[in-house]
Amino acid sequence: EAGVAQSPRYKIIEKRQSVAFWCNPISGHATLYWYQQILGQGPKLLIQFQNNGVVDDSQLPKDRFSAERLKGVDSTLKIQPAKLEDSAVYLCASSYSRGNTEAFFGQGTRLTVV
């Protein structure tokens, strides 16, 4: 079974630039999550999708972050414009369903904003 795929693995941008991350969840997984993990902290949920609908985006800074999951499969997370404090690892995870508690994580994208 293929795992959660994320790209790119690393990204360095200047502040005020924009950046996008891509995630391909495990086939058949209806629930998709984006987490932000700042160095020294645990992952923080940014947004949760059930198929192509948003279940929870209460911690997503909507003035600069956006995410979509077209056709209920792949997802992209965008930051525009980036700030220095956005430097973090962005993790995508998926689970079979919303009621299934075991989420499978991708390797993450390490973003550095300079």
Q: Name the one range near other proteins by CB under 8 A: 15-23, 60-68, 72-80, 88-96.
A: 88-96
Proportion of the chain in helix, strand, coil states, percent, rounded to 5: 5, 50, 45
Shortest distance, CB of residue 6 to other proteins, whole angstroms?
8
| Residue 53 binds other proteins, judged by CB under 8 A | no
* C-alpha distances out from residue 24 to 28, 53, 104, Å: 11, 16, 12
| Residue 15 binds other proteins, judged by CB under 8 A | no
- Residues binding other proteins (CB under 8 A): 4, 31, 40-45, 48, 56, 58, 91, 93, 95, 97-108
